[in-house]
Amino acid sequence: MQFKLLIAFVDDDVTEAVMKEARRAGATGATIINNARGEGIKRQRTFFGMQLETQRDVLLFVVERHLARKVLERIAKIAGFDDESGKGIAIQIDVEDAVGVAHQIERLKGKVEEEL
């Protein structure tokens, strides 16, 4: 089985909804890194010298390659990436090799067959 690494940078208030929808689309879980910070095209607003910015979470998913695009699209929809600038981004990267995923392969076989 081949995998993709999906990396999503989302506002922390949508993390739970993104996780729920990613699971529905075929993700088996994720690693969540809290309190990330980023800056896009538009600089963050300030108030008396303090930056006004929402906290971000970084979600790392190792997803079977046939399910990756569906999961990526669900993340984008739930997080509202296309609704307005600065809502976040998600990317996918090929995974050359992975260990520790053997317990997921049996569960994924049926899901992948449905998708194909």
Q: Where are the domains of the chain?
A: 3-115
Q: What is the pTM of this model?
A: 0.81
Q: Give the whole-angstrom CA distance, residue 62 versus residue 2.
A: 10
Q: pLDDT confidence of 36, banded at 50, 70, 90?
A: confident
Answer yes or no: is pLDDT of 60 > 60: yes
Domain 3-115 adopts which CATH fold? Answer: Alpha-Beta Plaits (3.30.70)
Q: Give the whole-angstrom CA distance, residue 95 versus residue 115.
A: 20
- Dihedral angle computed from the Cα positions of residues 47, 51, 57 and 60, in that order, rounded to the nearest 10 degrees: 150
What are the residues facing 94 on neighbouring strands? 4
**91 and 6 Cβ atoms separated by less than 8 Å:** yes
- Dihedral angle computed from the Cα positions of residues 37, 42, 48 and 54, in that order, rounded to the nearest 10 degrees: -40
pLDDT in tens, 67-116: 999 999 999 999 999 998 888 899 999 999 888 877 777 776 666 666 66
Q: pLDDT confidence of 34, banded at 50, 70, 90?
A: very high
